[in-house]
Structure 1
Amino acid sequence: MAQSEAEIQRQKEMQQAEELLFSGRQELGFAKGLFLGNFVADWVMPYPRLDPARQAELEGALAEVRQMLDRNLDPDWIDRNADIPQSLIDGLARTGVLGMTAPKEFGGRGFSQMQYCRILEEIGKRDASTSVFVNAHHSIGIRALLLFGTREQQAQWLPSLVAGEKLAAFALTEREAGSDAANVRMTATPNEDGSSYTLNGEKRYITNAAVSQVWTVMARTPIPGKAGKDAITAFLVTPDMPGVEMIEGRMPKLGIRGTATGRFRLNDVRVPKENILGPLGKGLRVALTVLDFGRTTFGACCTGAAKHCLQLAIEHANSRQQFKKTLGNFDLVKKKIARMAADIYAMEAMTNVTASLIDRGLEDYMIETAMLKVFTT
């Protein structure tokens, strides 16, 4: 069956985005190379570790974050009330969690990706809703600003986001777009005077949508000089702009109930051209890059949760008795716990290695983050 023009255009955008993502000297990612028989040992061996200064910095931050979580995080309350209390959000901001990897000049802590993953692992160990909330705000919510924002945009938007005065969300998902990032249908039409764009369309399953004040929104813009052609562009949108309609602020869920997963519509929302993130028409590159970062840090969140589950399983196996011996003395239970430990080791290793590839400046780690999404999350 012949492909439609829209399908051909989407494939072309995906190919262009991948080419743009990897613009440096690196020609092949580590995991991608394995499929082609190319093993680049020095990218993963020796096993990545933080240098002593970074490790000491991390341990200090972890101690501070743990004390704050002990005081302010009640996972049972969060699940019962389907909300994250302001006191916890304030604690996350005060300990720097909401801006861990942001530059210090904007109020962040300047942490590496490996350091940040360890922080998120600690949060994920305690509560899934809180770890997803942080991930949505920092790992994808402000990530486009950190990676693609101009100095002026960063100076304008980052300080309040890093300080927790404002929260962020990443708005990509639509009825027919999400993992298929190139299938975005929201439109952004340039206005006649060239000073702004008018956005129309609906987004759904957007974490933090109802509690955030800054959204990174993906929409289709016309390609200059090519009639009838369009491409995805990233915009900074605020929910107080005229025409923003919050259809559903908190969609009901079975799990991670504390997060505000929302659905909103933009009805002729005028967005200044100064709010474009990255080059015009290169929003797919922005989206794919941001998602790669988010998949890495979310892998850390789930690793923390898995470690906690393993701890609970071991405690139960060593305390419950059946047939005059603890469950931990049964071979099948031992095998199950060993399998859990092996899987968690793999989760942790995959997360650390991928984070280290990012920290070292390697550009092609799309396969690694895809593996993290499949295996750890």
Structure 2
Amino acid sequence: MTSTLYTHDHAAPALPLSLILLLATGAGLGAASLYYSQPMLALLLAEFKSTPAALGLVPTLTTLGYALGIGLLAPLGDRYDRRRIILGKAAALVLALLLAATAPSVAVLALASLAIGLAATLAQDIVPAAATLAPEAHRGKTVGTVMTGLLLGILLSRVVAGVVAEQLGWRSMFVAAALSIALLGIAVWRRLPRFEPTTQLPYLALLGSLATLWKRHGALRRAALAQGLISIGFSAFWSTLAIMLHAAPFNLGSGAAGAFGLAGAAGALAAPLAGRLADSKGPEVVTRLGAALVAAAFVAMAAVPDQLWLIALGAVVFDLGAQATLIAHQTIIYSIEPAARSRLNAVLFIGMFSGMASGAWLGSVVLARAGWQGVCVMAAVSGVAALAVRMWPAKKYAACAA
């Protein structure tokens, strides 16, 4: 076990690749825990003989737990040793996953799902940890690599869960997930250094400081607003894709939507490239390029909405743009106030989650009233709006915000 103490003023040496991969794996396994249940809902429905509405509480409470964890727990990374927080959440996540594996009823499974969502926010402690450990010249690249792990965890979790549940049963998937987090905890305990707290604020004052940071830093507001706008289109697309593919003229099953999800892996794998570009050319260039890719992809799909190849290509392009913009936004905010990285990250992801929640709701409404083309038009508008936020001169933006 290492006893090194890292401060935010530490002249950090280049990180070993093994440590970067550990952080990326940890972020991926933490985020994956949120999505294991989704492809197993049909099996859960059959075993518990419940209603779809009741079983819908499982993914809903998982997401709710994660949202609450980002707002209420992630800021603690500035107040306490981030290593201890990650280890504590890993232990809690193991217990929550085992509770899910042994759940005798939907009610217990729903309670376990809420706990899984809360504890899975360890992924949002790992990313600021990576930013703190990385030397400034390589921060974008390091954060991009860790975010690749997180994004691959999200994208591949559904595929893995579907296969394991079909072959070994859904309970086996939760047991395997608990084992993976336990092994992660051991590796983190052995490899991750301790972090010096950067504030002594009491808990309620720590939460209140989120609003203070929002008011103080125009760059944070721009990042949260732009990423939230991109997330509207991102969420609208993925929340309505399966329904659109199932209907005429495509008449495809749920497996087709899962295959489209793999296209998003291309964007995830390109995240380190976005980080390198942010390091060399500056993150502002990457935010504009990423938002432009998102807007262009949705404009193309809105113009020709009935071509599967274009939808697949569009998924790759806009996912790349969304992830590149997120990496660049994280690079920007982590440089604003190093002592508040956990709270800055929380504000950014609150904006992102707000956009995703809005996009899921708006997507379903627009799909019902204007069809798939309407969803693409709405997503294109949100992408163009995000680009406008990034293109608007910072001084003029600050004046308008004031």
Global fold match (TM > 0.5): no
Larger RCO of the pair (alpha carbons < 8 Å, separation 6+): 2
Structure ranking higher in helix proportion: 2
Higher-Rg structure is: 1
